[in-house]
Structure 1
Amino acid sequence: MNKKLIISSLAVFFITSFKPAKQGVVQPPQSAAGYVTPAYTPLPLGSVKPKGWLLNQLQIMRNGTTGHLDEVHEKIRKDNGWLGGKGDNWEETPYWLDGAVPLAYLLDDKQLQTKVLKYINWTLDNQRPSGYFGPITKAEREQGIQVAAENCSQGEDWWPKMVMLKAIRQYYTATQDRRVIPFMTKYFNYQLKSLQQCPIGKWTEWAASRGTDNVMLAQWLYGITKEPSLLELANLIESQSFPWSTWLGNRDWVIGAAAQQNGDHWMRRHAVNVGMALKAPAINYQRTGDQQYLKSLNTGWNDLMQLHGLPMGIFSGDEDLHGNDPTQGTELCAIVEAMYSLEEILGITGDMQYADALERMTFNALPPQTTDDYNAKQYFQIANQVQVKRGVFNFSLPFSREMNNVYGMRSGYTCCLANMHQGWTKFTQHLWYATPDNGLAALAYSPNVVKAKVGKANTEVTINEVTDYPFGDVVNFQITTKQAVAFPLQLRVPNWCQEATVLINGEKLSTEKGKRLITVNRTWKNKDKMTLQLPMPLTTSNWGRNSRAVERGPLVYALKLEEKWEKGTDEKEGDYFSVYPKGDWNYGLLETIVKEPVQNLEVKVVQPVTDKFIWNIQHAPIQITTSARKIPEWRIVNDVAPQPVTDRTGIFRGEVQKEVEKITLVPFGCTKVRVVAFPVVPAK
């Protein structure tokens, strides 16, 4: 659209400046090297500031483990290797920083910034002359050598360095610290010289399975320096890593993952590896411009959710991919890594289906897997989670510890305790992106304020996004600018929205069908207000074992169950919580609800979404009431509630209680115990 357009009348504006962007993948221009300019560019860290309930969520994290993990987690606290000590030299310190660094700058928290800078500064200041970096290796400590390309085998695993580089990149976008670009350039030169002798998988399969993150970082630096050797390095790392792009495009992989749960090739089924790998085809497309990678991405994502998808928007992974039965678990690390992959995919491709997927995952799967104070987490959550307790579940790993499903700081494995912090922080960062034509794009919605430079003259504007989304269906954008400025502002209309309405300063601009991107290109003035109305339809969706879930907008709704919390202590893993329902949970939805959801589901706003909102049952702002009948024989077996068997019509044909009862549903993200994937029973 012509950015030089001068708006002379409202009528002309209506005709010329309100055009839906093309659906699907945005095709940005390519460089001579084949490198593709991303469709959207993430804004510098700190450009987007959370407000409302989102700000409260981040403040809770700051007051909880995100802000204090180095004080309460022994592995990070004691003699840390990333500060020159002999302690943690693996992934958990970088994992924590990958969430704590953005949190420090999103909240402008100087104390937290000082804390994380200890690790950033030590890492930057202790790079070896060769370019190698990281904790002091055993050979360096005991033999007095320094790691170089010639003796790279005396170094240590590539994998933790990938995570630390992600944290350092975050820090650079917030501060523009001049040390970072030379530091990364030097390290990538070292890598290029070393990888033939010390390939990416030399020490562990973790690095080979997660090499995409290394490729992503090299390509990010190429986007700044245009140094061709960085693309050479990216190609080399890709050739030595798991071929995720091939697997995602090849349906044999996802089918095999559904069929096999043995020890053969389990790393290619590991849900966290898969969550990280989702972005591999997009990263490879960015480097090469090969459209086949986008086809592989689309095939892989859709097949993954078809065979392993759960109603809350994430695939099963306990720890391996494990099918779509609502009693399978999902690791918290898999959720936050998949979210980050979707954010990267969205920026590179501009394909809005991944924004829909991101919101569904964020607003449903993420919130219930931590406690209100963000001090305890659940290693595996279950879709139909009718109790939270110690036990041996039908998980692929692990069995004997029996701590996978409870809420605890150290329950399960502590990788998720360190890694969970990137979920909400990076989602906040990626609410907005910059467009190639000096505009802004709102691709996910939550209360925030963004400050950016737009238009031909890089004029600074502030946009205050006021909304109760994802609970409310109205998003308001209030513009503040010292002078009038022309720039395009893009708005995503989600796939679930049948018809969206845009208003400018209270005047209706246009009504558009869903599943598209709208571009409003005009000269914006101070105090202009744009309103996006996204009516949220009531629908039901079909999931594993012929189950049905109730949906409204981006939220999935689950049975409201009052909770009974019990505290316990494990000798090795410390304090933990079990949660049990106080009421009955064994309900089936009437088949009339599936056939006519609008007529048989009643939505009620029970309380406002305040700035103190917390994702729990007490704060659930929306309730949906409907009719159900109990299934007496639907009971707990081996600690879970196996889905009742249905016929091909999707109806349960066993014994059903005659009485029809009213049940209440609340947003899945507000629950700890629940049923979300309901069997369907006859209406009479």
Structure 2
Amino acid sequence: MRLSFTTISIFLSLIRAPGVVSQTGLAPKQFLNLPLGEVKPAGWLHDQLMVQTNGLAGHEHDFYDYVAETDWTGGSSYYSNLEEAGSYWFNGMVPNGVLANDATIQSQTQYFLDYVLDHQDSTGWLGPEVNTTKPRYLWGRYPFFFGAIQMVEANSSLAGRVVPALHTFVKLANTMLHNNGEGLEDWTNTRWEDFVMTLQWCLYDFYPDGNEELLLDTMQLLKSYGDPWEEVFKEEYFPKTAVENLTNPFPFLTWHGVNMAEGLKALPATYRFTHNQSDLDAASLGWDLLFQYHGRPSGIFAADEYLAGLEAARGTELCLVVETMFSGSYLYQVIGDPKFADRVERVAYNALPATLTGDMWSRQYLQQQNQIAAKNMNPDPFPTDGSYSNVFGLEPNYPCCTVNHPQGYPKFISNAFVTSPDKTSLVHVYLGPFSTQTTLADGNQVTVTVDTLYPFSDTLTTTIEAAGAFTYRVRIPSWVANGTISVNGAQAEAVSPSNGLHSVSVAAGTTTIVLNLPAEITLEPRPHGSVAVHRGPLHYAFDIARTQKVLAQNAQEARAVDLEFDATVPWQYALDTSSLRFQYSPPASGVLPSPVYDSGLPPMSISATACQIDWSVAGDTFASPPPTSPECTGPTTNITLWPFGATKLRIGEFPTVNLTA
């Protein structure tokens, strides 16, 4: 359905009309996140964070033009004044530095924080503003706010400096917004929810300093000027195919992939000051529509700049991946529906590692479900993004993902545990190797250690040390079949989750919990009669053997390279889905390879009987849609499917054949 320009104008004037007053205060969330540093990675996940720290993310400050210290202090870059790259880098590297306990990164982020606060001018604007005549736009500072909040969480002594600076900025921003929306432009109007979250997460909830009325007024102003996500997420307006040939009835950037990923936070953030259940209902529906019409078996959705439908050769941006993970964590904490946590876990263990080289020195701008080459593409399957978009490199297509992607793993880790609002219970949300130390209600000091190879194992052993009794809850994913739990060596019993969570009454002292969470191999229907293969949280794909060619190398950092990958083996296979068999070879040492997300390294795989088929290629760079009802053109053979995140060239959506007839 299309709306006329007049209809849109009337609608926007109505939602921006003053006088709509929310109920008093902010509505509570279903769960509270723990402060940065209270949840830490262990085992293979800690190693994965260290690979990131030792890779591109941890070294950008040393050499990368957009965030190297000499650039952002000297003003030689457009991004130097918190327009984008500096804020993105800070937002990701603050939690990276804390969780990796990396003194160098912590020193860099502290210096960055101090520099920005030192350059706050007399009006309240957070600096620096260097060599630019550009108008003051609000959005570029939002990721900086997220980083500053996390620094306060990790070190409360910083609150005395950070919080007054934020309040001063909010007073200025409120004045600007009352001045006919000064400081707003297309990106700010679309990403307004990030500022609202800042006003809630740090200031109103923890450091209001008597400014509650001003904070609520600023939230309402941002919402009134911002793009109308409650309308974008209505089924009658939501795009059900790739959008390049559609007309957006709302501001055009709402169908932009990263904006959509960030916009998922808008309505839960709105709910907190409106108290309207309709906001939560619209957020939940929007999530479902997005993945129904644009979703990927890897857990993420497709947008090669704009929403791209279901075809396997269309792309997904790396920024979109990490922003969806952050939004999904927030949605779960506000709404409590386990579907959000299930999907974030899938994204973290599939889509995120798939778009990075194993050593994390090179990244893609766009990943594909069926990706038969990573090179300068001719022709280009992406209507908006450039032909270099799926190369693994320093900054293919746009630089934003280089500085933004490091938030993915750290924020996933930080949100792996939450508490109930009254802090009487602790909830283990994302399954994997973690530890946490926190204080629950009545000063109950609790330590939890989770020993597991999950998702590369079905078993998790959790040891809890508690000063007093409390309720421990653990998420049981929707894909678990016949899961069991044993407490303190007792006979294992079937898990019995309520709203996705299994509860255990924990006594003071030491409690040991053993979870066994097996899963069946499942098939997901995909376009053209193709299927995707899953087991548990992992999506499986055919890993295409490849050659590697260095296309470019950074002059200052030799490890920062652009890589071209080309297939060296046939990939045109159809599967007999009745032949799929799960294979597991746990490491004898109990330790996974480092890095684990690279060809042939995960201990899990799925064997399949297949045959080669006719499957055309567009140019020499991307696979055409999987053929429907194909016939074998060669003999039956056995192939192996590997976890999607470990593949860099792959087939993740397969045609099918019956080879048993």
Counterpart of 2:477 (choices 494, 512, 519) is: 494
Q: Secondary structure at the match of 1:74?
A: coil
Cα deviation digits, residues 452-494 of structure 1 (max 9, x gap): 012x42122211111111121111111234x4x1111111111
Aligned pairs for 1:110-259 within 5 A: 110-136=103-129, 138=131, 156-176=136-156, 177=158, 178-197=160-179, 199=181, 202=184, 204-220=185-201, 221-226=203-208, 227-255=212-240, 258=243
CA distance 1:215–1:675, shift in 2 (3 Å): same
1:269, CA displacement in angstroms? 1.5
Aligned pairs for 1:523-562 within 5 A: 523-562=506-545
CA distance 1:325–1:200, shift in 2 (3 Å): farther
Find out whether 1:679 has 2:655 as its counterpart.
yes
CA distance 1:261–1:670, shift in 2 (3 Å): farther
Aligned pairs for 1:525-674 within 5 A: 525-569=508-552, 575-590=561-576, 593=577, 596=578, 600-605=580-585, 607=587, 609-610=591-592, 612-637=594-619, 639-646=621-628, 652=629, 654-657=630-633, 659-674=635-650
1:105, CA displacement in angstroms? 0.9
Kept in 1, the 8 Å contact 2:244–2:306? The answer is no
Q: Aligned partners of 2:316, 2:247: CA distance in 1, in Å?
A: 18
CA distance 1:411–1:43, shift in 2 (3 Å): same
1:519, CA displacement in angstroms? 4.7
Equivalent residue number for residue 365 of structure 2: 379
Equivalent residue number for residue 438 of structure 2: 452
1:575, CA displacement in angstroms? 4.0
1:638, CA displacement in angstroms? 5.6
Equivalent residue number for residue 450 of structure 2: 465
Tell me how many residue pairs correspond in the alignment.
622
Q: Aligned partners of 2:223, 2:645: CA distance in 1, in Å?
A: 36
Q: Secondary structure at the match of 1:446?
A: coil
Q: Aligned partners of 1:237, 1:450: CA distance in 2, in Å?
A: 36
Equivalent residue number for residue 310 of structure 1: 296
Kept in 2, the 8 Å contact 1:158–1:200? The answer is no
Kept in 1, the 8 Å contact 2:608–2:639? The answer is yes
Q: Secondary structure at the match of 2:141?
A: helix
CA distance 1:504–1:345, shift in 2 (3 Å): same
Kept in 2, the 8 Å contact 1:278–1:297? The answer is yes
Counterpart of 1:505 (choices 474, 488, 496) is: 488
CA distance 1:549–1:308, shift in 2 (3 Å): same
Structure 1, unaligned stretches of length 5 or more? 1-30, 143-153, 647-651
1:535, CA displacement in angstroms? 1.2
Equivalent residue number for residue 9 of structure 2: none
For 1:397, the aligned partner's letter is: T
The TM-score normalised by the length of structure 1 is 0.86
Counterpart of 1:46 (choices 37, 53, 59) is: 37
1:550, CA displacement in angstroms? 0.9
Indicate the larger mover: 350-359 or 540-549. Answer: 540-549
Aligned pairs for 1:415-494 within 5 A: 415-438=400-423, 439-454=425-440, 456-481=441-466, 483=467, 485-494=468-477
For 2:155, the aligned partner's letter is: T
Cα deviation digits, residues 583-608 of structure 1 (max 9, x gap): 21101112xx2xx5xx7423232645
CA distance 1:490–1:602, shift in 2 (3 Å): closer
1:609, CA displacement in angstroms? 4.7
Q: Aligned partners of 1:263, 1:71: CA distance in 2, in Å?
A: 42
Counterpart of 2:57 (choices 66, 81, 92) is: 66
Cα deviation digits, residues 518-551 of structure 1 (max 9, x gap): 3535343433211122112111111233220111
For 1:208, the aligned partner's letter is: N
1:637, CA displacement in angstroms? 4.0
Structure 2, unaligned stretches of length 5 or more? 1-21
Cα deviation digits, residues 80-138 of structure 1 (max 9, x gap): 44x47453222101101111100111122222211111111112232223322122255
CA distance 1:211–1:84, shift in 2 (3 Å): farther
CA distance 1:137–1:197, shift in 2 (3 Å): farther
Cα deviation digits, residues 377-433 of structure 1 (max 9, x gap): 11111100111111142112223xx32111111221110000000001100111111
Kept in 1, the 8 Å contact 2:480–2:518? The answer is yes
Q: Aligned partners of 2:415, 2:554: CA distance in 1, in Å?
A: 41
For 2:643, the aligned partner's letter is: P
Q: Aligned partners of 2:525, 2:127: CA distance in 1, in Å?
A: 48
Q: Secondary structure at the match of 2:421?
A: coil
Q: Aligned partners of 1:615, 1:409: CA distance in 2, in Å?
A: 19
Equivalent residue number for residue 396 of structure 1: 383
Q: Secondary structure at the match of 1:559?
A: strand
Cα deviation digits, residues 317-369 of structure 1 (max 9, x gap): 11111110011011100101111100111111111110001011111100021
Q: Aligned partners of 1:308, 1:523: CA distance in 2, in Å?
A: 42
Kept in 1, the 8 Å contact 2:32–2:333? The answer is yes
Cα deviation digits, residues 270-327 of structure 1 (max 9, x gap): 1011111111111111222211112211211111111111111111111111110011
Kept in 2, the 8 Å contact 1:602–1:626? The answer is no
Q: Secondary structure at the match of 1:680?
A: coil
The TM-score normalised by the length of structure 2 is 0.89
Equivalent residue number for residue 99 of structure 1: 92
Q: Aligned partners of 1:518, 1:644: CA distance in 2, in Å?
A: 38
Equivalent residue number for residue 517 of structure 1: 500
Percent identical across equivalent pairs?
Answer: 29
Q: Aligned partners of 2:497, 2:595: CA distance in 1, in Å?
A: 29
CA distance 1:494–1:303, shift in 2 (3 Å): same
Kept in 2, the 8 Å contact 1:44–1:174? The answer is yes
Q: Secondary structure at the match of 2:96?
A: helix
CA distance 1:50–1:223, shift in 2 (3 Å): same
For 2:367, the aligned partner's letter is: Q
Q: Aligned partners of 1:559, 1:382: CA distance in 2, in Å?
A: 13
Kept in 2, the 8 Å contact 1:53–1:447? The answer is yes
Q: Aligned partners of 1:580, 1:184: CA distance in 2, in Å?
A: 49
Equivalent residue number for residue 6 of structure 2: none
For 1:129, the aligned partner's letter is: S
Equivalent residue number for residue 350 of structure 2: 364
